Amino acid sequence: MSTVNAEAVSMSPSSGVERRERLHNTIESLVRLRQEVVVSYCQLSGVSSFANRTVEKHRVEADQLRRFCQIMVDYTAMGHFEVYQRIIEGKERRRAVKEVAAEVYPAIAETTDYLVDFNDKYDAFEGTDEDVDMLSGDLSRLGEIIAIRGELEDQILAALEQ
């Protein structure tokens, strides 16, 4: 093949195989980031082991909460910009993906709003007793939201991988 033809091939739009590989890598990255969120959430909420749960005195540090929020925001943004954006813009053509997205994306959008609001609420967390009391009440709901989002997200990811 001549150099000119090789350049034309390399400049052509990506093949279906390359797009599928990119999508697969994006999905794996999103799932890994979600796992980081869950692990960080467990550390933040003081869930280390059930054996020590009743004897541990857990205190949330401001830096720990900031790190958690950063991971959570990265996860939320990746889902939005790397996975859902195409669906939101109406560019997704696969019927199965569109059907699942129509069913679950509104709830995913609600979880996104909650995660962003949580981040904004605790942006100025200083670890005072009042801050910690407020946080402990919000952590339970946050855990539920993260679990719900993961379940909904898995439905879309499964449709995308078919």
75 Cβ contact partners less than 8 Å away, ≥ 6 residues apart: 30, 33, 34, 36, 37
Count the alpha carbons within 13 Å of 123 in the hemisphere toward its beta carbon: 7
The model's pLDDT over 81-115, given as tens digits with 9 standing for 90+, comes to 988 998 889 888 999 999 999 999 999 999 999 99
Start-to-end CA distance of the chain, whole Å, equals 35
pTM listed for this prediction? 0.82
| Domains, the chain | 16-161 (1.20.120.1370)
Lookup: tokens for 13? 């739009």
The model's pLDDT over 26-77, given as tens digits with 9 standing for 90+, comes to 999 999 999 999 999 999 988 765 555 554 566 788 999 999 999 999 999 9
